[in-house]
Amino acid sequence: MSELIPVRCLEPESPAADSVDLYESRTKIHPRSFTGLYRRLRMQGGAALFLLFFGTAWINWGGRQAVLWDITHRQFSIFGATFWPQDFMLLSALLMIAAFGLFCLTVFAGRVWCGYSCPQSVWTWIFMWAEKVTEGDRNQRIKLDNSPFGANKALRRIYKHLLWLSISLVTAITFVGYFTPIRELFMGLLNLEVGGWAAFWIFFFTAATYINAGWLREQVCFHMCPYGRFQSSMLDANSLVITYDAARGENRGPRKKNAEYQSAGLGDCIDCKMCVQVCPTGIDIRDGLQMQCIGCAACIDACDSIMDKMGYAPGLIRYTSDNALNGGNTRILRPRLVGYTAVLITLIGIFSWTVATRPLLSVDVARDRTLFRFNQENEVENNYVLSVLNKSRESRTYSISVVGLEGLNIRVDDKVNVAPESMLSVPVAVSVSPEMLSERNYDIVFQVYDPEHPEDQSFVESRFIGPSVPVW
């Protein structure tokens, strides 16, 4: 009989120490207020975006709202130009242009879009300002959070949330105003006569803005936005990113101003943690570039202000490339950036040419589901409906003809008048003598054209169906 190996069960001394929590609770971030060059740039950029977003909806152009996505009438107007569902490819091209523009910007300067122009970031900064106005700066907010609930705390929280909701409501009304005429929407809200769908979307976007910018904040960037996940694949050693100069800053340590610190083996970083306190995502940039960094440069402004107070040179934290940080030169022109830029310029050129030369006439044809019939002249007849879309801003009169089979006769109004930026359904009957038919199916082509504007013409194909066996 084989000898058994003794087994002894070992209990951990501290079960809590050996357990692993797979979910870490969110730590509330209390960013500190600060001043600096990049904050001013961000405020100016944010003000321009706010003016663009809230102001454009109220601009009239040619007697109507300058930018309006009219879902009811299925048309999109932008400063005099009208786009229809038939122009969907132009929208796709515009999205591709935006994507490659973002790629170029990321390769060149990292996540500056996130830090300066992303709506999530811009509205979060506005909500943080409202928080500061109602609850005070960082230390006051921390103290308020830790204090017992009372009248002062309740009153400050009410003021904050009322301000948040006001900003969210104005944002939602303006956003919905790009899909329904904003003046009618505003007057309907004043008179409590707004439609059900408009009210729903105003409520929805008010809640979305309030939750995303007020409560979720950096969590949207961490878990909902895919941009931070793939940005690392677009950066290279020459990309400008926010970087802590460890060679200059280490070793960290506090000291008095004008004190001799280099002989003590200390670097320029006094370990004040101001760069962490001002960060809206709560990271420590001294740990290196991280996915959570949105490139807002708040840490640069904070660190430069400390360097100035200590009498040190600025730039301990700065925009720089990996090559420059290691003593090399930053190459601006490099294959990846040149490639993205070339594609971007090409797309812009193609888009501009397409918009400038796009036809102002679009025609669709739908054949009646009845195979065929014999009309009063004993001819084989097929019925169609032509949807004639006039994209121009003036009334047009079109002529309609058909080719593809010898002896075809067309019964339609001689002149089809279509109002500006409108679609008209035109019934058309096409017939032919049975003696001309030797097959069951024939390809035919409708031509719709404006005699006064030869450039406006459209050709659409369809089928003409006759008897399976010649009747003559």
Residue 288 and residue 244 in contact, taking contact as beta carbons nearer than 8 Å: yes
Q: What confidence score (pLDDT) does residue 280 get?
A: 95
| 157 located within any domain | no
| 281 located within any domain | yes
In this predicted structure, the answer to whether residue 21 has a pLDDT above a threshold of 70 is no
Q: Is the same domain home to 257 and 319? A: yes
Sign (positive or negative) of CA dihedral 321, 323, 327, 333: negative
Cis amide prior to 251 (ω within 30 degrees): yes
Closest CA to 77 of 94, 63, 92, 96: 63
Q: Is the same domain home to 314 and 408? A: no
| 286 located within any domain | yes
Tokens of residue 151, six digits: 């009248």
pLDDT band with cut points at 50, 70 and 90 for residue 469 = low
Number of separate domains in the chain: 2
Closest CA to 50 of 167, 219, 225: 167
Q: What confidence score (pLDDT) does residue 15 get?
A: 47
Name the more confident of 62 and 364: 364
Q: Is the same domain home to 314 and 379? A: no
Q: Is the same domain home to 373 and 287? A: no
Instruction: Please report the DSSP string for 216-248 in residue order.
Output: ITHHIIIII-SHHHHGGGT--TTS-EEEE-HHH
How far apart CA 409 and CA 257 sit, in angstroms, is 97
Longest dimension (CA), the chain: 113
pLDDT band with cut points at 50, 70 and 90 for residue 9 = low
| 299 located within any domain | yes
| 127 located within any domain | no
CA atoms within a 13 Å half-sphere pointing along the CA-CB vector of 63 = 1
Final residue of a structural domain among 274, 307, 325? 325
Please state the φ and ψ torsions of residue 358, each to the nearest 5 degrees.
Answer: -65, 140
pLDDT band with cut points at 50, 70 and 90 for residue 6 = low
Mean pLDDT of the chain: 90
Q: Is the same domain home to 311 and 371? A: no
Q: What confidence score (pLDDT) does residue 323 get?
A: 92
Task: Characterize the bridge pairing of strands 396-403 and 67-70.
Answer: unpaired
How far apart CA 408 and CA 380 sit, in angstroms, is 10
Q: Is the same domain home to 294 and 250? A: yes
**CATH code, 446:** 2.60.40.10
In this predicted structure, the answer to whether residue 413 has a pLDDT above a threshold of 90 is no
Q: What confidence score (pLDDT) does residue 471 get?
A: 52
Final residue of a structural domain among 277, 308, 325? 325
In this predicted structure, the answer to whether residue 162 has a pLDDT above a threshold of 90 is yes
The single residue listed with the structure tokens 């995303």 is 212
pLDDT over 70, % of the chain: 94
Final residue of a structural domain among 270, 301, 325? 325
Name the more confident of 455 and 424: 424
Residue 251 and residue 267 in contact, taking contact as beta carbons nearer than 8 Å: yes
| 28 located within any domain | no
Q: Is the same domain home to 240 and 310? A: yes
How far apart CA 275 and CA 265 sit, in angstroms, is 22
Instruction: Render the burial of 199-218: b for 16+ CB within 10 Å, e for the rest.
Output: eebbeebbeebbebbbebbb
How large is the average pLDDT for residues 361-365? 93
Name the more confident of 77 and 151: 151
DSSP 66: S
| 172 located within any domain | no
How large is the average pLDDT for residues 186-213? 95
Helix (H, G, I), strand (E, B) or coil at 429: strand
User: What contacts 444, CB < 8 A, 6 or more positions away?
Assistant: 402, 403, 404, 405, 408, 430, 461, 462, 463, 464
Q: Is the same domain home to 297 and 243? A: yes
DSSP 463: E
How far apart CA 223 and CA 217 sit, in angstroms, is 11
Q: What confidence score (pLDDT) does residue 92 get?
A: 87
Q: H-type helices in 57-178, by residue range?
A: 88-109, 112-116, 119-135, 138-146, 151-176
**Residue 461 pairs with which residues in a beta bridge?**
445
Q: Is the same domain home to 240 and 307? A: yes
251: domain range?
236-325
Cα distances (Å, whole numbers) of residue 161 to 143, 166, 170, 205, 322: 18, 8, 14, 16, 43
Of the candidate ranges 11-25, 79-93, 349-363, the one whose mean pLDDT is the lowest:
11-25
Q: Is the same domain home to 365 and 309? A: no
- pLDDT 10s digits, 121-152: 999 999 999 999 999 999 999 999 999 999 99
pTM of the model: 0.83
The single residue listed with the structure tokens 């004043």 is 190
- pLDDT 10s digits, 241-293: 999 999 999 999 999 988 888 878 899 999 999 999 999 999 999 999 888 99
Residue 153 and residue 147 in contact, taking contact as beta carbons nearer than 8 Å: yes
| 119 located within any domain | no
Q: Is the same domain home to 365 and 457? A: yes
Q: What confidence score (pLDDT) does residue 11 get?
A: 54
User: What contacts 305, CB < 8 A, 6 or more positions away?
Assistant: 34, 35, 36, 274
How far apart CA 140 and CA 45 sit, in angstroms, is 28
pLDDT over 90, % of the chain: 68
User: What is the radius of gyration, based on Cα positions, of the chain?
Assistant: 34
